[in-house]
Amino acid sequence: MKPTVTMRDNRTGKEYEFEIKEATRGPSVVDISSFYAQTGMFTFDNGYTSTASCQSKITFIDGAKGELRYRGHTIEDLANNHSYLETCYLLLNEKLPTKEESYAFDLELRHRSFLHNELTHLFDAFPTGAHPMATLSAASASLSTFFYNHLNPQTDSEYQEMARRIVAKMPTIAAFAYRHSIGAAFIQPDINRSFTENFLYMLRAYPHERMHIDVEGERTIRPIEVEALDTIFTLHADHEQNASTSTVRGVASTGAHPYVAISAGISALWGRAHGGANESVIKQLEMIGSVERVDEFIARAKDPNDAFRLMGFGHRVYKNFDPRAKILKGLQDKLKDELNLDSNLMQIANKIEQIALSDEYFIKRKLYPNIDFYSGVILTALQIPKSMFTPVFVIGRTVGWISQWIEFKKDTNTKIARPRQLYLGE
């Protein structure tokens, strides 16, 4: 006998039964897909805090324990022992690659990183100074005009080609969007560089300049920088059914082109309550200005009559320390030592962190530093411009979005997303 939940309408005395579906990890769910048909009512769940919108095998989060897994692998293992591209392969193929598969995957993405020459002309349509996220979203959507045949992939190889193409091109689009925003010439990808190093190269290089990854000279890309950014990409790769991922799945449900769905996800990510939070963290640290003013702003954050809120603390899902934040905390300490960093912003951030982790106000409310608090400081240390913080998030998350899109399209029981409402108007 299948397990069920019985609901009773106290107005009429009628009872209704709904099947319980068991999860392999985390909470089970009550299947209320027939709730309206049985009761003539809708359920109300503002912000979907208790509603599972889909079934998935990609990412698992336990917010109470502070646990995050991709395809069953802990985020700690992936961030510490595997590269971002190995994580991408895992998300797309449901297993970590062998040495040979990793090499072939890396090589394929290097060669797919170039943009169609006509696509590069699109950037000229945007004003110099345009925020890279706006340009990134538009350019990503335009990929559907160059690769329209990806609208309805049928075979695994077609799904893989579609996915690998946009994962490979996203760093190039992001770098071009930034360089256009400052009026700088584009730097084409270098197939002799790894995925993450290549992104830094396209951001920093000058035309015809030879940049090396070594420890000599000022115009270099240091191994520690590549390692740090690669880790950030891994931590951002997927995060279950967040706002932008739900947006991608929602657009996918309409039958739209996958690259258009990714563009919609980029737009959703741009919000300061989502992917734009780390940019807001840095702006707030700059506003605080000095270590001496930290206590003043901590007091404001604790004042119920003050609208001021500390950015980078607390999380919608995690009610424990965000596991990604723990990893970035260690990475920040490593960067501070290896890059000899002791900037004013880092001093302010460290003071805020010390207070928040020991102050009863923050502890009682489970307001732990989250990934945005640390990633903003680390990206600043890596000399990534603030306007590129969220595009860095996009680069890391693209593989998660496209994996979610593929899973959605392969599920024969999916329907167009169509939430209902509680009507209160005239």
Concerning whether 274 is annotated as a catalytic residue, the answer is no
- Looking at residue 219, its pLDDT comes to 59
Quote the pLDDT of residue 210: 66
Contact 236, 230 (CB under 8 A): no
pLDDT at 217: 45
Burial of 277 (0-12, 13-18, 19+ CB in 10 A): buried
73-74 sheet: strands from edge to edge: 59-62, 67-70, 73-74
> Tell me: the pLDDT tens digits for 124-170?
999 999 999 999 999 999 999 999 888 889 999 999 999 999 999 99
Structure-derived torsion over alpha carbons of residues 140, 268, 26, 407, reported in degrees to the nearest 10 = -30
Instruction: Give the model's pLDDT for residue 350.
Output: 85
Query: Both tokens of residue 52?
Result: 């599972």
Domains along the chain with CATH numbers: 4-52 (2.20.28.60)
Q: In degrees to the nearest 10, what's the CA dihedral of 255, 53, 265, 394? A: -130
Residues 6+ away with beta carbon under 8 Å from 196: 84, 226, 229, 230, 233
**Whole-model pTM?**
0.91
Burial 190-203 (b: 16+ CB within 10 A, else e): eeebbbbbbbbbbb
Residue 38 and residue 13: Cα distance in Å, rounded? 14
DSSP symbol at 313: B
> DSSP string of 344-387?
HHHHHHHHHHHHHTT-HHHHHTT--B-HHHHHHHHHHHTT--GG
Rounded mean pLDDT of 172-188? 96
- 281 or 82, which is more confident? 82
Q: How far apart are the first and last CA of the chain?
A: 46
- Contact criterion met (CB below 8 Å) for 180 and 193: no
- pLDDT, position 208: 73
12-49 residue pLDDT tens = 999 999 999 999 999 999 999 999 999 999 999 998 88
- Which of these is catalytic: 150, 236, 315, 322? 315
Task: For residue 316, name the pLDDT band (cuts at 50, 70, 90).
Answer: confident
Top pLDDT among 165 and 372 is at: 165
389 vs 376: CA distance, rounded Å: 7
Q: What is the mean pLDDT of residues 311-327?
A: 82
User: How far apart are alpha carbons 212 and 229 in whole angstroms?
Assistant: 17
Can you tell me whether residue 268 is helix, strand or coil?
Answer: helix
pLDDT of residue 225: 92
Tell me the pLDDT band of 211, cut-offs 50, 70 and 90: low
Q: Do 345 and 294 contact (CB within 8 A), yes or no?
A: no
More confident call, 116 vs 347: 116
Is 315 catalytic? The answer is yes
**Residue of 230, 238, 322, 372 with catalytic role:** 372
Confidence of residue 214 (pLDDT cuts 50, 70, 90): low
pLDDT score, position 115: 97
